Amino acid sequence: MTPLSTQLLSKEHFYVNRQCRQLFAVTDPAFLSLPAGGQESQQVSERQSTIINSFLARQATSGSPKAVLPAQLNGMKLLHELFHAVMVKSTLLRQPTFFPNLVEKLPEIFAPDEPETYLTSFVTAFPTQALYKGDITATEWLEGEGRQSNVLEESFLVWLNNLNPALQPFNALLSDELLRTDHYRRLIAAMRNAMQEMGPIKPYNLDLAELLFSPIKHAPASILDQLRYIRLNWAVLLEDSPFWDLLDEAIAFIEDEDKYLFFEQVAREHAHRKDGRFFEKEAHVPHYSIDDANAPANYSPDSTWMPEVVMLAKSTYVWLDQLSKRYKRHIARLQDIPDEELDAIAERGFTALWLIGLWQRSFASQKIKQLQGNPEAKSSAYALEKYDIADDLGGYDGYHNLMERARQRGIRLASDMVPNHTAMDSELVRNNPDWFLSAHTPPYYNYSYNGPNLSSDSRYGIYLEDGYWNRSDAAVTFKRVDYQTGDTRYIYHGNDGTNMPWNDTAQLNFLSAEVREGVIQQVLHVARMFPIIRFDAAMVLAKRHIQRLWFPLHGHSAAVPSRSAYAMSMEEFNAAIPEEFWREVVDRVKREVPDTLLLAEAFWMLEGYFVRTLGMHRVYNSAFMHMLKKEDNADYRYLIKNTLEFDPQILKRYVNFMNNPDEDTAIAQFGRGDKYFGVCMVMITMPGLPMFGHGQVEGFTEKYGMEYAKAYYDEQPDDHLVWRHYHEIFPIMKMRPLFAEVHNFYLYDVYSPDGNVNENILAYSNRRGNEGALMVYNNRFEQAAGWVKMSVGYLQNGSIRQSSLVEGLSLSTDNNRYVIFRSHPDNLEYCRSCRELADNGMFVALDGYRYNLFLDFREVTPSRLRPYDKLAATLNGSGVHSIEFAALTMSLAPLHQTLTEALTPAAPYADATSFATTLHTLLESMAQQYSELIEQAIEVPASLAIEYAARYEQAITLGQEIVAQSGTRKLCSALGLESLTAYPTLVAQWLMLDAIQTMLQASNVLHTTLFDEWLLEHALQALHPESGMVGLPGNNLPNLLAALLAPQPTEAAEDATLEEHLLARIATLHNTQRHHIGRLMQYEPRHHKIWFREHRFSTLLAWLLVQELLTNTNHEPTTWLEALDQLDMRSFLAGYEITALLKG
């Protein structure tokens, strides 16, 4: 022991006044001594402050006096000890006889006969224990060796205490009011002069009085900050003091007490709030600490299905209540959920269904909620009795039924676990109380447990601390009583250190290997039931936070009030929990229940650590919701950039969401308009796992509490919101494999025209195989524009590199290559030069909160038939419905003009010869023009014009026969035979087009039909007047011609009737020419059926009959009419519904 320690520990202190001595003379005569620290300091200070506060309450004349706090009392005593130590050490170093010299000078300071008067008056006002008891007189005591020096030392420190504003709460104990005489003032002045004469104390260059005042000047109102100042600045003087080692503990004790007071205030404020929220979680950009960054990557590999998960959350009891209302029947169990509901979930593109609150819940939690004013409440979904499916939800049978039906639809079920704690009355609390953090005394002297017994088991008592019931305290423990054994313990509630304790839970002790193994067995049990497990509040079980919350290092304050007393060394902590609990969980699940996706709710900038080091498959990315809601766009882009530069694989393991059960609804945060859909589109196109909240698609606004048994708002789906999901969101959700990975993910800077990066535009691309996508979104109300050209940096093979837009989309940079792509919101296609994209990038302009998603990228080379280069120049950045159509329209325009002129004769052809002449000229012209476009020779068969002229003559003769036949009025009308020009004009157009088609087929340059490859539908509409002919408007006549040019059935029975031939022809058209026949017959889809018009059907049937009769001349006229009558009747009996007609 050092001389300083010997001198300090042998010295008795007497800086408290007589009335303070009176409080402790009998019960605690050594109350000024300091315990060794930790729990003993806490317990002693709580006992002593209780005595002091009772005295203060008795002395008060009005109102309630300010209470003395235990940690502050401990800090005050230590502060005095440290001041003593500095005085002793300083005088030993500078002037060992400092106080004896002062004693000798007392006659000079006072009158010669007055020193004894002052000394006696001081020890009378501030007596030692022996003086207070009367064991010795003041005169006798002062005669002892060094006693007079001790009085002078304490005199100065008493004076110092009374000048310290931070010690004002202890005024009744420390007041020097009875000493405030001329003697006292003269002594203090003399001592200050003597300290100045002694010279400065090294290394501070201050005299002793100034040195002792420095902590008070630094923080006049705070004992805590004065102690911090001493720890930071006085180590040179105090490191060998016996009290130096107590300093860290005292600071942690006060910090711990401050947390307790803070949460006590929060509890009182919360009593007046109805929203159940205390703080809004802040989102932070991960900084990837050096320790985490240097740790080797230890990812868990994904199963093939994991990257494609899109998850939908449902609060189970609330959902069942809503389903009951929707389907107008009682739906209370999992097996009662309608198949139609599962069909809708799958059809929308969801592949995972997270059912919140499936497990058997706590009786105590429910009782608390009901006593607090909600008689219909369930217990909290995270206060669990045990991990069995709740009986009222159908138990295991209900789970198995739903799981199997969901599996058939490609939906995997997900479930919650909260390994950190159980319900306060759980099976484990009853049977294994040693598994929980507890003590055999309350953590605070003022805790009481006089409320109702919350246990459903008569063998046990479960009591909340009384402050919870009146919202006066955020109590950290509850009381468990075993009535059979008498065992009473105070178990800590679950707590994350940032909010109110979870007052219906019990905190497990993860320093126990037995507890960790027990929890792992629970995890394995759940993994065998659910392929996806979400771990609630997973971050609190990271080793660093187990330590921070419950077992701090010596000298550090625990985040949970009162736990600083359980401090331990790092060696002790690591010995108790040598491996990260979550790493152990991941490895065990991988080994024993593979193909399980483990998802962690983790915050506090641990997201990367949880997936990269601990091996979780997915982790919450709360920054997505918070930053995009608040439009912290630069921070969110920085988050992505930072992650890409550290390890891009983290990005694909984020869970992105727009609301969480603990947060406001997506509608409350993002609205119902463009901002909602822009952020939602980002959510489903970023790498990672998109998660939709309960009621998000429907636009529900109610925030469902974890205890809700039903929805309290009578809400109906927002039809427009749902419609936009179906048109914008769900189609992209089904493309999830394109967006889920990060191997080809690139984030781009968007440079505004002024040359600065526009942080409000989020621009990124992704690629999978030959598929590519580019997403741009403006997360700000103002319009934004800029160039997308170069990516931000990303880590690849150990170095940071960047890629251009054309590299990101895997496009070439050749001068003669163009890229076509489609815009998802408006379904327009665009054409750009690959070379220009490489040189300049892509210019994007977006209104406020608008997005654009570009898909279907494909490279093309311009040709005469498809002049993409000329089209791109003509469009100048604009979009069209089809680039292919626009390019062909451009190249085929001269051909279309020649064709339409030839098909528009002044009058019907006089004979077959004139028809043949016109047709031959047309064939020659078409062959020449089209061969130039496709750069391939086309031959005109020598006899083709003559063959089709003969058909023309045959068709004209057939028309005359039909007119001459009785009972053909309806047929004549359908064929236009009542007009002199209609029938021969249509026949001529049909046969000329058929001849061209035959010519092209003979040269093997036609791949489908002439109508489709030459885009004739639009071009030929100019042939006919708007009023049309044969009962069809002009814009439908090209569809009739297309039907006549369509391929005919290749297989038909030899004995098939004319009726069967015609019906087979209609079936072929329905299957292969749906567009043309649909326009011609005016298809009208309704109720999963397709209806058509009677008159349009009769017209088509008549022309198909002509086509059949020109091919097969063996049919008698009576057969024609019978076939037509039979098909008319058949269409009538089918109700003019095409499927029924063809099945007939």
Asked whether the CA dihedral 918, 919, 924, 928 is positive or negative, the reply is positive
Ramachandran assignment for 676, one of left (phi > 0), alpha (psi -120 to 50 degrees), beta (any other) = alpha
Q: What angle do CA 1019, 1074, 1123 make, to 5 degrees?
A: 105
pLDDT at residue 279, as a whole number:
38
How far, CA to CA in Å, does 959 sit from each of 933, 963, 966, 1107?
Answer: 38, 6, 13, 12
* DSSP line for 985-1019: HHHHHHHHHHHHHHHHHHTT--SS-HHHHTTHHHH
Q: How many residues does the chain have?
A: 1144
pLDDT at residue 823, as a whole number:
97
Q: Which two tokens stand for residue 875?
A: 């469009």
CA 313 to centroid of chain Cα atoms: 12
Strand, helix or coil for residue 918: helix
Of 1102, 1131, 980, the residue nearest 1040 (C-alpha): 1102
Per residue in 769-826, pLDDT (tens digit) is: 999 999 999 999 999 999 999 999 999 988 999 999 999 999 999 999 999 999 999 9
Give backbone dihedrals phi and psi of 800, rounded to 5 degrees, phi first: -90, 125
Of 661, 656, 662, 664, the residue nearest 636 (C-alpha): 656
Query: What mean pLDDT is reported for the chain?
Result: 90
Range from 185-189, 320-324, 658-662, 977-981 that averages highest in pLDDT: 320-324
Higher-scoring residue by pLDDT: 1119, 591: 591
pLDDT at residue 275, as a whole number:
36
By the 10 Å C-beta count (0-12 exposed, 13-18 middle, 19+ buried), 581 is classed as: buried
DSSP 729: I
Give the percent of the chain with pLDDT over 90.
Answer: 63
> In whole angstroms, what is the distance from residue 628 CA to residue 759 CA?
12
Is residue 1101 pLDDT above 70, yes or no?
yes
pLDDT at residue 472, as a whole number:
73
- The residues near 985 (Cβ < 8 Å, ≥ 6 apart) are 905, 908, 1029
Mean pLDDT of 892-901: 95
Is residue 178 pLDDT above 90, yes or no?
no
Mean pLDDT of 1056-1071: 90
By the 10 Å C-beta count (0-12 exposed, 13-18 middle, 19+ buried), 43 is classed as: middle
Considering all CA atoms of the chain, what is the largest pairwise distance in Å, rounded to the nearest integer? 158
Mean pLDDT of 190-199: 91
Of 158, 249, 154, 164, the residue nearest 214 (C-alpha): 164
Give 4's pLDDT tier (boundaries 50, 70, 90): low
Residue 153, CB half-sphere, CA atoms under 13 Å: how many? 26
Q: Confirm if 808 and 796 have CB atoms less than 8 A apart.
A: no
Higher-scoring residue by pLDDT: 229, 777: 777
pLDDT at residue 285, as a whole number:
66
Per residue in 845-869, pLDDT (tens digit) is: 999 999 999 999 999 999 999 999 9
Residue type, 313: A
Q: Confirm if 954 and 946 have CB atoms less than 8 A apart.
A: no
DSSP 604: T
> In whole angstroms, what is the distance from residue 355 CA to residue 523 CA?
17
Mean pLDDT of 943-956: 94
Is residue 7 pLDDT above 70, yes or no?
no
> In whole angstroms, what is the distance from residue 543 CA to residue 948 CA?
89
Of 885, 912, 1098, 1088, the residue nearest 991 (C-alpha): 912
Q: Where are the beta strands (DSSP E) in 824-950?
A: 829-833, 842-846, 851-860
Per residue in 978-989, pLDDT (tens digit) is: 888 899 999 999
> In whole angstroms, what is the distance from residue 661 CA to residue 419 CA?
18
Per residue in 523-569, pLDDT (tens digit) is: 999 999 999 999 999 999 999 999 999 999 887 888 898 898 899 99
DSSP 880: B
Of 935, 939, 1068, 1081, the residue nearest 1009 (C-alpha): 1068
DSSP 127: -
Per residue in 126-141, pLDDT (tens digit) is: 888 888 888 899 888 8
- The residues near 441 (Cβ < 8 Å, ≥ 6 apart) are 43, 490
Mean pLDDT of 331-352: 97
* DSSP H helices in 801-867: 805-808, 834-840
Is residue 426 pLDDT above 90, yes or no?
yes
Is residue 259 pLDDT above 80, yes or no?
no
> In whole angstroms, what is the distance from residue 1049 CA to residue 1069 CA?
9
Is residue 1112 pLDDT above 50, yes or no?
yes
How far, CA to CA in Å, does 212 sit from each of 3, 81, 161, 202?
Answer: 21, 12, 11, 13
Per residue in 1129-1144, pLDDT (tens digit) is: 999 999 999 999 998 6
pLDDT at residue 774, as a whole number:
98
Q: List, in order of start, the domains of the chain with CATH numbers.
A: 3-237 (no CATH), 621-861 (2.60.40.1180), 883-1025 (no CATH), 1046-1144 (no CATH)
Q: Where are the beta strands (DSSP E) in 616-726?
A: 618-620, 654-657, 689-692
DSSP 314: E
Per residue in 754-764, pLDDT (tens digit) is: 999 999 999 99
Is residue 280 pLDDT above 80, yes or no?
no
Give 291's pLDDT tier (boundaries 50, 70, 90): low
Q: What is the dihedral of CA 496, 498, 501, 507, to 10 degrees?
A: 10
Is residue 60 pLDDT above 80, yes or no?
no
> In whole angstroms, what is the distance from residue 503 CA to residue 475 CA?
8
> In whole angstroms, what is the distance from residue 239 CA to residue 500 CA?
38
Is residue 270 pLDDT above 60, yes or no?
no
pLDDT at residue 273, as a whole number:
38
pLDDT at residue 390, as a whole number:
95
Residue with tokens 């814009």: 1035
Per residue in 85-127, pLDDT (tens digit) is: 898 888 888 899 998 999 899 998 888 888 888 889 888 888 8
pLDDT at residue 5, as a whole number:
55
* DSSP H helices in 372-394: none
pLDDT at residue 684, as a whole number:
98
> In whole angstroms, what is the distance from residue 724 CA to residue 731 CA?
11
Is residue 276 pLDDT above 50, yes or no?
no
Is residue 294 pLDDT above 80, yes or no?
no
CA-derived radius of gyration, the chain? 45
Q: What angle do CA 1032, 1037, 1042 make, to 5 degrees?
A: 135
Residue 597 parent element (H or E): strand 597-600
Q: Which two tokens stand for residue 203?
A: 């290394």
Give 262's pLDDT tier (boundaries 50, 70, 90): low
pTM of the shown model = 0.79
How far, CA to CA in Å, does 931 sit from each of 926, 928, 945?
Answer: 8, 5, 19
- Other CB atoms within a 10 A radius of the CB of residue 381 amount to 24
Among 473-482, 714-723, 876-885, the minimum mean pLDDT is found in 473-482
Q: What is the dihedral of CA 1128, 1129, 1131, 1136, to 10 degrees?
A: 110
Mean pLDDT of 15-28: 76
By the 10 Å C-beta count (0-12 exposed, 13-18 middle, 19+ buried), 1104 is classed as: buried
> In whole angstroms, what is the distance from residue 736 CA to residue 725 CA?
15
Mean pLDDT of 1005-1023: 91
Q: Confirm if 688 and 656 have CB atoms less than 8 A apart.
A: yes
pLDDT at residue 884, as a whole number:
95
> In whole angstroms, what is the distance from residue 285 CA to residue 827 CA?
36
- Other CB atoms within a 10 A radius of the CB of residue 482 amount to 14
CA 72 to centroid of chain Cα atoms: 42
Cis-peptide, bond into residue 687, ω within 30° of zero: no
Range from 11-20, 386-395, 958-967 that averages highest in pLDDT: 386-395
Give 272's pLDDT tier (boundaries 50, 70, 90): very low
